[in-house]
Homo-oligomer: A and B are copies of this chain.
Amino acid sequence: MTLLPDLATARAARLAYRQGLSAPTAGVAPGFTQCNMISLPKDWAWDFLLYAQRNPKPCPVLDVTDPGSHVTALAEGADLRTDIPAYRIWRDGVLSEETTDATAHWAELPDLVTFLIGCSFTFETPLQQAGISVRHIEQGCNVPMYLTNRACRPAGRLHGQMVVSMRPIPADRVAEAAMISGRTPAVHGAPVHIGAPEALGIADLSRPDFGDPVEIRAGEIPVFWACGVTPQAAVMASKPPFAITHAPGYMFVTDIPDTHWQV
């Protein structure tokens, strides 16, 4: 047993997804950064990069491809068209299809620009190392995510509400969870909201907008982190003609150790 993250686990995960495996990625390749993805026509790239700059908590950009490219500096040899376990195809802001291989859709437009955005799964390893259990990993399901009533700062044609992920944390560990995640702002950083889901416009925690519900036990507080599904909420609200994203919770596993983002 070693405490060093093993690059072979990240590469094996991407290869399995390339070959068609489709499953949520929480707990996969511990110690490595995971990413949200959104590909947009070049004509929308400026609006999106500005949207991300104006909303850095939900949209911390870790890499941007050249138009039409499907490689990234974050993972050598990876193919962004196939190496994510599930993709969503969007037309005029409407989800048109979910697939495990987006190669054919990528071929529809020659100038797609792809944005890789930090994911909160990245700080789950440090949480677990501190003895803070992550409920959706315990339960073997996807993380619960909610559309909030908090408007993002618009940019050009893009607007929408912030999406959050939720982890129930024992009340006496909430401060520590905030501090541990706060050390990595590039993967969403500290929580945006602790307790009081109704203040975020969340009526029922057992009915997440994305992902799966998880058990909240006595003495636990729901803790909310900004979530990289926020760009998909912007797609739904702003209706660009075409977009490819990952499916919520089905992330791109990179070769970058999570410690890389610690400040």
**Residues in A lying within 8 Å of B, measured CB to CB:** 45-46, 49-50, 53-54, 61, 64, 182-183, 185, 189-190, 263
Contact = CB atoms under 8 A, between A and B. Distances in A.
Contacts of A53: 49, 61, 64
A contact face: mostly helix, strand, loop, or mixed: helix
Given A49-B49, A49-B53, A53-B49, A189 B61 contact: no
Nearest to A56: B186
A64 B47 CA distance: 11
Contacts of A189: 263
Nearest to A62: B53
A263 B183 contact: yes
A51 to B, nearest CB: 11
Contact of A263 (B49, B50, B54, B190): B190
8 contacts: A49-B49, A49-B50, A53-B61, A53-B64, A54-B64, A182-B263, A185-B185, A190-B263
Contacts of A54: 64
A50 B189 CA distance: 22
Contacts of A50: 49, 64
A250 to B, nearest CB: 24
A144 to B, nearest CB: 25
A258 to B, nearest CB: 15
Contacts of A183: 263
A40 to B, nearest CB: 13
Contacts of A46: 45-46, 49
A263 B181 CA distance: 10
A183 B189 CA distance: 13
Contacts of A182: 263
